Amino acid sequence: MNRTLTVAATAVLLALGAAGAQAAPMPAKGKVVKIVDGDTLKVRVAGATRTVELAGIDAPELNRCFGPQARNRLGSTTPVGAAVSFTFVGARPSTGSTRFKALVSFGGASVNRQLVLRGFAKAKGASSLAFGAKIISAQNTARAAANGLWKACEGLTTLRDEFTTLLTGKQLNFETGNSGELVQREIHFCSAGRFGEITNIIFITAGGSTQSTVLGNWSIGTTQVSNGIKFAQVKLDVDNSTSDEEIGVNILTNGNIVLGSGQIPATLRTSTECV
């Protein structure tokens, strides 16, 4: 056979063999080689550098509000040289792929979720992913706490700030009691964290009443949002006394205020005095 024809035939067979061969599945582990932006990594996998998009989230572009901070956060969460693992979105890519989307884990923790929880990215397309519920829950937490971009770019305040603004300069009125007495409480939330409370106790069965006044400091403790209801634990530290108290204030979706698990109705209006 002519040598030229033999070489040509060999080349054709090699080409056909390469075309028919299937690329191996992409390994689920790699090493970070570059931080592109707040939701994109360059990772060395199976001897080649691939681009990995963090699935279910969206970080600001580098030229947008909080973009540089998001990239820096991803860099500190998964530093160059870090060994990371992937949970692929959809079908597992082959080693022929140069780019893919995945949930990235480092040290056993979800990087995608951490970025959203700390306010360096928002959830995007997470609802269609098997692990998306955790990312969406993380966003709800970050938004309620005004973490990261939610405060810097969206102008949101924390629930603690919201309740502090709501109560300062106001008086909270509510009633408690039993069949024998009625307790009427009027708490005035003054500036600089001071409060004054006037309490009237009306003795229903015995007749008569008493009135007392206390002063102290107030602050906002635990806050949370659940099913649209905003909650804050208001701490009342009475001067020269161990009779401190915490009152759970709930703002319902209709704007009404109820207190504690007993759902005691309360009203809030401008304070008439700071006693």
Closest Cα partner for 177 from 165, 186, 185?
185
Which of 58-62, 162-166, 178-182, 226-230 holds the top average pLDDT? Answer: 58-62
**Any residues with CB less than 8 A from the CB of 140 and at least 6 apart, and which?**
225
Q: Is 211 helix (H, G, I), strand (E, B) or coil?
A: strand
CA 82 to chain centre: 25
DSSP 213: E
Dist CA 71 CA 2 (whole Å)? 61
Give the class (CATH, top level) of 162-270: mainly beta
Same fold, 24-152 and 162-270: no
List, for residues 184-234, the tens digit of each pLDDT value: 999 999 987 999 999 999 998 888 999 999 999 999 998 888 888 999 999
For the entire predicted model, the pTM comes to: 0.60
Domain 24-152, CATH 3.20.20.140 — does that match?
no
Domain range summary for the chain, segments of one domain joined by +: 24-152, 162-270
